[in-house]
Amino acid sequence: MGIVNDYINKIINKINDFKYDKEKPWLKYYDRMPEHLNYYNGSMYDMIYDTSIRYPNFPALEYFDVKITYKELIKRIDNIAISLHNLNIVENECVTICMPNIPEAIYTIYAVNKIGAICNIIHPLSSIKDIEDALKETNSTTILATDVTYNKIKEIDVKNMIICEVSNSMKPLLRKLYNIKNKSNMRYKDNVIRWNNFARNENKLVETHVNRGKESPAVIIYSGGTTGKSKGVILSNLCFNSIATQCTVVCKEAKAGNSIFSALPIFHGFGLCVCVHVPLAIGLKCILLPKVDVNKLNKTIKNKKPNLLPVIPSMLNYIIKSKKLGNKSFESVQVILSGGDYLSPELIDETLNYFRDCGSLTRIQIGYGLSEATAFISATCESVKSLDNIGIPNPDNIIKIFEPETDIELEYGSIGEICVNGPSIMLGYINKDEETANVLKLHYDGKMWLHTGDLGYMTKDGVIHYQSRLKRMIISNGYNIYPMELEEIINKCEYVETSVVVAMKHKDKGETPKAVIVLKENVKPTKEVERAIKNYCKENISKYKLPTKYEFRETLPKTKIGKVDYKKLED
């Protein structure tokens, strides 16, 4: 009887395992990751403060040749919190930060968080109208910017304008040289508060800490606007802190004492979360750069010796096309973290070969995310050998493929909208309830799902593959055409450097594909080249998917965060 019971129990367990795997088939790859994690209950500031207690003498920031320990970082953040308190900034008030990756920007972000206010982070190269709109949208009366942006914003009517020189934290000699090179001899209006005056506080005993729950709003960043107007994305403390916790198990190199190349901008989710908050919450050193000089990128990596190298694919293109700096030049790099755009198999191979030649045994880990999910919801894992995918969900994330804009779940292998449920999902868009309701939807299962607007499919093993933006999908004569599929084919043509396929209006078919092509260096857009490309496409692309027009450009237009501006191409 005992043997029979054992057999029945085994059958029941197998049935339960089947149900479990069908719901979350990716769990088979969680060889060293737990399914669920415990998340920090406080604010972003609280989390890095706890890190500073554990590693007070570890370097937290490096800016050119200046290093700042965790103990010193917290001290400077606390001081700026007093400065904000002195401006009468109150809980839930928005403070606008319009700065590149400089130490003062980091101090300000966490100081704003400490006093219970909300960081409204905008691109320093935004138009004057976009900056004014962001201030108005958030009722922000305080803006912190740098001398680089001052001439653009000096006429803005705002209560508090605080200006910090990009060179402020450099050592004296370098600061002087930098100012001479960049002609930084700015004259400010009387209403401007200079950073050093702002940061000078005689009373260091002012209590500024406000206890904030993990669900409370912390940051507003702006979506990239690749297919339309950008929107202010409201992210909670939990959004950032959950990803910091997830990264400790998703990326084995994310551990205290290592260093990370924090060059991706803080006004973008990937830059702020993965390149700043995650490392500071874990105990890494952030190597800050206010601006990436692509011509000196390899030299900077060689000199700064980061262990973790977050990049977007366009950065890798610059790296591998530059001169190699010796067989030990990149030996510090342990992992390349790629996100923000599609990374082709060809570029993966070229990158790995280049880094091997430069002394690095690095691996590449591809992450997938979007601003509305704090930039990181899935990642490739070493158990899945191929990198032609966007990985498996991070712990506590559930990803499913639905019929676009519905709650109808699709079968494995079927292309549909990638949707996610998890702790890093945004609270919503600021002052845009209708747009929020279009992407945050309560499904029949009782879960709140973020509809990403991205098309893709999931294999029966739970591995996710990206196809294209939903708004980029071309419907021609009733057929669905995925631009990314055509781009992959066109990019393999011997004359083509890169390409983008966009929708073009058609009186009979509704839409047809148009190929916008950048030719390889020294290839001219002659009739013969155009004919050769068209013949190549006819041989490799189904007839109903063939582009009906080919356009040649020297470069592709980019958004402010460096992605291809599809909307501009379509317009």
Domains of the chain and any CATH numbers: 44-52+66-239 (3.40.50.980), 394-469 (2.30.38.10), 473-570 (3.30.300.30)
Q: What is the pLDDT of residue 185?
A: 67
Percentage, residues of the chain above pLDDT 70: 93
Residue with tokens 């010193």: 72
pLDDT digits (tens, 9 = 90+) for 31-43: 889 999 999 999 9
Strand partners, 479: 476
Q: How confident is the model at residue 385 (pLDDT cuts 50, 70, 90)?
A: confident
For residue 555, what are the contacts with CB-CB under 8 A and spacing of at least 6? Answer: 518
pLDDT at 160: 97
Averaged pLDDT for residues 364-382: 95
Strands (E), 86-208: 94-98, 118-121, 142-146, 160-164, 192-194
In whole angstroms, give the CA distance from residue 292 to residue 289.
7
**Averaged pLDDT for residues 328-345:** 93
Backbone angles phi, psi at 183, to 5 degrees: 50, 45
Q: In this predicted structure, what is the pLDDT of residue 22?
A: 58
Report which of 167, 142, 169, 168 is spatially closest to residue 156, judged by C-alpha positions: 142
Query: Which tokens belong to 346?
Result: 């060809």
For 172-199, how does the pLDDT look when each residue is reduced to its tens digit (9 = 90+)? 999 888 888 776 667 888 889 999 999 9
Residue for token pair 């965790």: 70
Residue 556: both structure tokens together: 């592709």
Beta pairing, strands 118-121 & 232-236: unpaired
Poorest-confidence range of 225-229, 380-384, 467-471, 524-528? 225-229
Q: Please state, in angstroms and rounded to a whole number, the distance separating the CA atoms of residues 119 and 269.
A: 13
Three-class DSSP category at 182:
coil
Report the distance separating Cα 130 and Cα 123, nearest Å. 9
Tokens representing 531 are 């004919």
Could you tell me the pLDDT band of residue 3, with boundaries at 50, 70 and 90?
very low
Q: Which of 335, 344, 346 is nearest to 311 (CA)?
A: 335
Question: Torsion-angle region of residue 88: left (phi > 0), alpha (psi -120 to 50) or beta?
Answer: left
Gap between the terminal Cα atoms of the chain: 74
From the number of C-beta atoms within 10 Å of its C-beta (0-12, 13-18, 19+), residue 191 rates as: exposed
Sheet order of strands, 428-429 included: 192-194, 160-164, 142-146, 94-98, 118-121, 217-222, 232-236, 428-429
pLDDT (0 to 100) of residue 570: 79
Please name every residue paired with 403 in a beta bridge, in sequence order, or none if there are none. Answer: none
Element (H or E) spanning 286, and its range? strand 285-288
Q: Confidence class of residue 526 from pLDDT cuts 50, 70 and 90? A: very high
Residue 15 — very low, low, confident or very high, per pLDDT cuts 50/70/90? very low
Return the structure tokens found at 5. 């019971």
Structure tokens at 19: 């149900």
What pLDDT score was predicted for residue 180?
81
What is the pLDDT of the chain when averaged over all its residues? 90
Q: What pLDDT, in 10s, does the model give residues 265-292? A: 999 999 999 999 999 999 999 999 998 8
Tokens 């940061």 correspond to what residue? 199
Q: Are 39 and 238 in contact (CB under 8 A)?
A: yes
CA–CA separation, 381 vs 82, rounded Å?
A: 43
% of the chain surpassing 90 pLDDT: 74
Bridge partners of residue 222, in order along the sequence: 232
If one compares 112 and 128, the residue with the highest pLDDT of the two is 112
Lowest mean pLDDT segment, chosen from 157-171, 228-242, 416-430, 440-454: 228-242
Kindly state the average pLDDT of the residues 533-552: 91
Among 259-263, 283-287, 320-324, 427-431, where is mean pLDDT lowest? 320-324
Residue 372 is given by DSSP the state G
Under DSSP, is residue 138 helix (H, G, I), strand (E, B) or coil? helix
The answer to whether residues 462 and 24 touch, using CB atoms and an 8 Å cutoff, is yes
| Side-chain-side CA neighbours of residue 481 (13 Å) | 28
* CA nearest neighbour of 142 among 199, 96, 189, 90: 96
What is the pTM for the complete model shown?
0.84
